[in-house]
Amino acid sequence: MKQVDNLRAGDIVIWKGDGDTSMGMVIDTNPDPHDEQAVLVQFFGKHDVLPLHYYYHELDDFLEIGEIRIQHG
């Protein structure tokens, strides 16, 4: 099972940028098996904006290329 497959509210997603790191917390998930799995991520700090929607397949891609790290709560 990939780290993205078991995301829950409270998990932290860390984006590793070019010398800049952004951190967000999963605040909601879409558990409906008939819909594409997705999460809402609320960012902190200077990237403090409305929660952003990410599909699991997007996060899988970011994880695979090393752009994010996931810390389960």
Chain center to CA of 60: 9
Q: Please report the pLDDT score of residue 27 as a whole number.
A: 96
The answer to whether residues 72 and 3 touch, using CB atoms and an 8 Å cutoff, is: yes
Q: Which domains does the chain have, with CATH numbers?
A: 3-71 (2.30.30)
Q: Kindly report the pTM of this predicted structure.
A: 0.84
Q: Please report the pLDDT score of residue 48 as a whole number.
A: 64
Positive or negative, the CA dihedral 73, 30, 63, 26 is: negative
Query: Model confidence at 53, in pLDDT bands (50, 70, 90)?
Result: very high
